[in-house]
Amino acid sequence: MQKRTLLQAAAAVALLGASGLGLAQDNVFKIGLVLPMTGQQATTGRQIEAAARLWMAQNGDTVAGKKVQLIVKDDTSLPDQTRRLAQELVVNEKVNVLAGMGITPSALAVAPIATQSKTPLVVMAAATSSITEASPYIVRTSFTLPQVSVAMADWSPKNGIKSVVTLVTDYGPGLDAEKYFSERFLFNGGKVLEKLRVPLRNPDFAPFLQKVRDLKPDALFVFVPSGAGAAVMKQFGERGMDKAGIRLIGTGDVTDDDQLNDMGDVALGVVTSHHYSAFHPSPANKKFVADFMKANKNLRPNFMAMGGYDGMRVIYEALKKTGGKGGGDALVAAMKGQIFESPRGPVFIDAQTRDIVQNVYLRKVEKKDGQLYNVEFDVIKDVKDPGKSKQ
Ligand code: DHB
């Protein structure tokens, strides 16, 4: 049996050789997925790869008569690596689509390659507002920090929070969160006592949190990238900040579903605003979470997985619509304006900006069946990225 299969394979290779490699290539549709699979942002890569594979397991790997091939590369979240790998994928592998992009510097490093090679770049994680303006070939399925930060600044003053200190990671998404939260909070009559920024690489939150304790704001507003939330929460608890009457608020990156359940009781009651919670009570999400956990040893999907899953859908739909004809330009055109029911809720790819329009939810960490979840209690519908320069 084994022997026969091998013989058949050899025959198939010979046939391919005879019919020319071009034909074989034409029947393959390659997605180059560049992600941080190791290093500080490894959980982002693990979540997105798992979600992309789940999408393919559920929807098959043949679309419009083409065999979809996923090529995963680990950039260790270093933008020079992301650029080098994307270049190789375009030049050597001749990928039809580039995707992934765990952090903003990676997405910005690859944008010129997408433009020059006319390859669609589906950004599944990185969330600085300006990214989609870096190339007309970029389409985003994650979110933007301005999009999710404003809701928190509207909720806080109505709920007893009159003064805040902001604490953000010192790069694109953190600066977006700081700006859009603070401006709206000031507009709503609140006071920002201090704006603190921590480095992206190996952050030590202790000295910053000490400072927050001394300043005694009603709340600390936090943005840290996925994977760093548990460290913030731990130190917040250890320093007795909650007991000192300082509340923790932020974008949902800090109560990341990937880590939330291990954060302990200090996380209880923390209110955040975000576009996705694993606890979102729709049938589509219940199925997504159950299938994801089943395929991944009970790992709970987070918002990164959501961006990867919907990113694959956007690519599949574009391939279906174009039949793979017309190259990158046709694919991007077919990605624009897509509208569908995602496990996170209804979403829309804005044709003008190529950015995602989606619901933003206010959520509070609660214990449900012995597990910690971000439980949604309010929604702002169909939120566009407020960070885009005027078109
Ligand atoms: C980015 C990375 C994250 O992990 C996150 O939660 C939000 C934004 C970024 O680099 O854009």
To test the ligand 1 pocket, which listed residue (44, 103, 169, 276) has its Cβ within 8 A of the most ligand atoms?
Answer: 103
Query: Which residue's CA is the closest to the ligand 1 atom numbered 5?
Result: 225
| Residue 352 CB coordination number (10 Å) | 10
Measured from the Cα of 127, ligand 1's closest atom is 11
pLDDT at residue 9, rounded to an integer: 52
Closest atom of ligand 1 to CA, residue 106: 10
Which atom of ligand 1 lies nearest, measured to the CA of 172? 11
What is residue 389's predicted lDDT score, i.e. its pLDDT?
A: 61
pLDDT at 161: 98
Determine the pLDDT at residue 387.
Answer: 92
Ligand 1 pocket test, candidate residues 104, 128, 148, 385, most atoms within 8 A of CB: 104
pLDDT at 97: 98
Distance 323 CA to ligand 1 centre (A): 33
Per-residue pLDDT of the chain (391 residues; tens, 9 = 90+): 444 555 555 555 444 444 444 445 679 999 999 999 999 999 999 999 999 999 999 999 999 999 999 999 999 999 999 999 999 999 999 999 999 999 999 999 999 999 999 999 999 999 999 999 999 999 999 999 999 999 999 999 999 999 999 999 999 999 999 999 999 999 999 999 999 999 999 889 999 999 999 999 999 999 999 999 999 999 999 999 999 999 999 999 999 999 999 999 999 999 999 999 999 999 999 999 999 999 999 999 999 999 999 999 999 999 999 998 999 999 999 999 999 999 999 999 999 999 999 999 999 999 999 999 999 999 999 999 999 865 4
Ligand 1 center from residue 217 Cα (angstroms): 26
pLDDT for position 26: 78
Q: How far is the CA of 6 from the centre of ligand 1 (A)?
A: 45
Q: Identify the pLDDT of residue 388.
A: 84
Pocket of ligand 1 (CB under 6 A): 44, 103-104, 125-128, 172-173, 225-226, 253
Strand pairing partners for 376?
363
- pTM here? 0.94
pLDDT of residue 14: 47
**Hey, whose CA ends up nearest to atom 3 of ligand 1?**
225
Atom 7 of ligand 1, residue of closest alpha carbon: 225
Q: Which atom of ligand 1 is nearest to the CA of 41?
A: 4
Give the distance (Å) from ligand 1 centre to CA of residue 142. Answer: 9
CA of 70 to the centre of ligand 1 (A): 23
Query: Separation of 150 CA from ligand 1 center, angstroms?
Result: 17
Identify the pLDDT of residue 202. Answer: 86
